[in-house]
Amino acid sequence: MIFETKRLVVRKLTKDDFLPFHEMQNNPKVLRFVIGRGYTEEENRKQLVGCIDKYSIPNNDFWVWAIIRKSDNEFIGTCAVIGDEDEKSNEIGYRFLEKYWGNGYGNEICNELLDYCIDILKMKSVFATVDVRNIGSVKILDKSRLKFVKEFLNEERVLDRYYKFEN
């Protein structure tokens, strides 16, 4: 276990997570603000193995973990901490299977993931970016301890919001 919340456990991904991982990553609604389409089965198999393989790399700065619901041990999504040398900071993110949207899991994970980064990993700076059209995630980040900094046009010329926490 990496950390837990009242209703959720965050742990390392395993190959046994493939079916729900693929369901989430194959859903174009889940990824509409990321790549605009779902990933194929082959792409998802490579991504899952790649995430798992990173766990054994010393000084890894790319962590993607499974989010499991305590009540029934169901895989409901992933969360991530990714180092960004340009920002000299670490980006956090989360993603959920569509059937689990609207249950407050995003708020729960965002807050605990931020606490984990600051209190356990001792990170001095953490940020998140979100496409302004992703209303659900904008609301989650607006309620978090991250502070809104600015809006900017990303590489695809889409308006993003940038949030940051600095210790």
Summary mean pLDDT of the chain: 94
Q: How many CB atoms lie within 10 A of CB 66?
A: 21
What mean pLDDT is predicted for residues 39-47?
A: 96
How many whole angstroms separate alpha carbon 71 and alpha carbon 56? 30
Within a domain: 119: yes
The residues, ordered by sequence, that sit 6+ positions from 11 with a Cβ below 8 Å of its Cβ are 1, 2, 65, 66, 68
Give the mean pLDDT of 114-138.
94
In a domain, 131, yes or no: no
CATH number of domain containing 69: 3.40.630.30
- The answer to whether residue 110 sits within a structural domain is yes
pTM score, two decimals? 0.94
Position 59 scores a pLDDT of: 86
Domain interval for residue 47: 3-124
Would residue 138 count as lying in a domain? no
Number of independent structural domains in the chain? 1
pLDDT tens string 92-102: 999 999 999 99
